[in-house]
Structure 1
Amino acid sequence: MTRHISFLPAAAARVLCTALAAVAVWPADAAEQCRGTIYLTFDTGSQSQAELIAATLKRHHIRATFFLANEKTVRGDYSLDPSWAPFWKARVAEGHAFGSHTFDHVYYVKDGANGNIVVKPQFGAQAGRQASWTPDAFCDEIRRVDQRFFELTGSRLDPIWRAPGGKTSPRTLAAATACGYAHVGWSPAGFSGDELSSSAYPNALLLKKALAGLQDGDIFMAHMGIWSRKDPWAPANLEPLIDALEHRGFCFATLREHPIMNHHTNKK
């Protein structure tokens, strides 16, 4: 299913440059070389590309942001099963950021009666069926990821979430804000297109589009594997994308460094 492209306005952000100077693994002159910041984010999916993505980020000393849901994987398990604990612990140790993608990958359908929210989970006991939830129940679904993540890693999520499909309403945003989570979508140029048909949207076309559009402060979104795409995006495009952006002088940061987090923290 193709995601609705949710645009989060992003001011030109250079906050990573200051942080780089304090991190030993980066060159001493990295701050001077940084001409802009791109925020790489990855949503869970089939997890077929999870190890490749992690290895690529590590090789380039890039910290990204991962949005987690308990999705079925190519291993036959689920992405927040105990079998994935070593993977997530390793990412925590590398300094990545983490947000909720709702536990059962729950799609917003519409606002319901009496202040409720009509949703459709993709996984879990209610998979494929519409349900009417209170705002508190919707909030609990977002927090379930944090609870499981803590069980797996001993660490907590960052106070951010991303709606499956990028579909939100003022009611869902208010429910999430009430329990401490800010919604983060992606920039128009940051839509990787990795859910689209690889015959209609080949990787070369998607890479060209991304490189033509990405600007300082943009949030880029891809998945850790998509069941339906025959020619997966990450093996062909992730390294060339990073190489080209680095060549242009861009640096990378997690959403912890994004201006939206400063705004969210100041509102508390």
Structure 2
Amino acid sequence: MRNPESAAAAFLLAACAAVSGNALAQGCAKPVYLTFDTGHMGIAPLVADVLKRQDVRVTFFAAAERTQTDGDSLDNHWAPWWKARAAEGHEFASHTYDHAYWRGDIKGVEPKFRIRPTAGAFAGREFTWDATQYCANVTKAADRLQLVTGKKPLPLFRAPGGKTSPRLLAAAKACGYAHVAWAPAGFLGDELPSEKFSNELLLAQALEKIQPGDILLAHLGIWSRKDPWAPADLEPLIVGLKAKGFCFQTLRQHPAYREWIAAHP
């Protein structure tokens, strides 16, 4: 007959193992954070289908960029698309409303910046914006996202091109927005010329170099790339990373942003 104490110990050990295994299954030992910036939106339906099929949640950074549908990526034509993504559990954040590039700081006591929008009525012109004007453009995109999705965006933003300065980042933080860049290996290359950087090369590089904790960057359409990245690489990338033990989370769960998000509901 089995010793009762041994049986109890074995049961406890098995129970602990089950709890541990369940926690690991529910948790994310090797997280990556897939993010999409807007673009011409031509591949947006495909991206949505892949994410739904693969049961992956991502964070979208949105600006009102020119689209293939003769409007912009935050207009009423795309509103149902954004609302559907919210219903699926994706997260949203600002990419500045006018896809406004930081071009340099202006010397002076008050923070001012040289800014060049690449979307909207003033695309291609350079302006001097103070912190209030820059924050207003970041907030405008966030407000529009909340209107079309019915979901409050995260208190985060991504500067177009990732171009910033310490002064710009401080100004944005002062009005409630933390900046999100991406990992070197997380640059998925969909902006690069396909003549030099084939989809096969980009996929191989990503699967080889991406590390746990990396923030990944892709777009919902790049005008200049002749062979679009997402139709060829998005699903194989997700499947390949899952096969290597990676799991996908939104930036709401990122350790560098969790406390900031909680403090800025």
TM range (shorter): 0.7 to 0.9
Residue of 70, 74, 93 corresponding to 2:64: 70
Equivalences for residues 1-268 of structure 1 within 5 A: 31=25, 34-114=28-108, 115-265=111-261
Query: Equivalents in 2 of 1:186, 1:79: separation in Å?
Result: 22
Match of 1:259, SS state, is coil
| Displacement after TM superposition at 1:266 (Å) | 6.7
User: Between Structure 1 and Structure 2, whose CA radius of gyration is higher?
Assistant: 2
1:111-164 Cα offsets, whole Å, 9 max, x none, are 013331110000122210110001111011100011212222222211110010
Q: 1:33 to 1:82 in 2, by over 3 A?
A: closer
Cα deviation for residue 30 of structure 1 reads: 6.6
Q: Which runs of 4+ in 1 moved over 6 A?
A: none
Tell me how far apart the structure 2 counterparts of residues 204 and 47 of structure 1 sit (CA, whole Å): 22
Q: Is the 8 A contact 1:62 1:252 kept in 2?
A: yes
Identity %: 52
Instruction: Tell me, in whole angstroms, the C-alpha distance in 1 between the residues paired with 2:27 and 2:94.
Output: 33
Higher deviation after alignment, 257-266 or 117-126 = 257-266
Q: TM-score, normalised by structure 2?
A: 0.87
Asked if the contact 2:154/2:261 (under 8 Å) is kept, the reply is no
* Deviation of 1:209 (Å): 0.8
Amino acid at match of 2:156: I
Contact 1:33/1:249, CA 8 A, preserved across alignment: no
Distance 1:35 1:139, change over 3 A: same
2:32 alignment partner, SS class: strand
Measured in 2, the distance between the counterparts of 1:201 and 1:97 equals: 30
Letter in 2 for 1:212: E
Residue 153 to residue 201, structure 1, CA distance change in 2 (3 Å): same
| C-alpha distance 193-174 of structure 1, shift in aligned 2 (>3 A) | same
CA contact (8 A) 1:196 1:229 kept: yes
Q: Following TM superposition, by how much is the alpha carbon of 1:263 offset from its aligned partner in structure 2, in angstroms?
A: 3.9
**2:228 maps to amino acid:** P
1-side partners of 2:34 and 2:228: how far apart? Answer: 18
Structure 1 unpaired stretches of 5+: 1-20, 22-27
Q: TM-score, normalised by structure 1?
A: 0.86
Greater RCO (Cα-Cα under 8 Å, separation 6 or more): 1
Runs of at least 5 residues in structure 2 that lack an aligned partner in the other structure = 1-18
Deviation, structure 1 residue 34: 4.6
Instruction: Quote the residue 2:11 is aligned against.
Output: none
Change (3 A) 1:174 1:32: closer
| Amino acid aligned to 1:126 | F
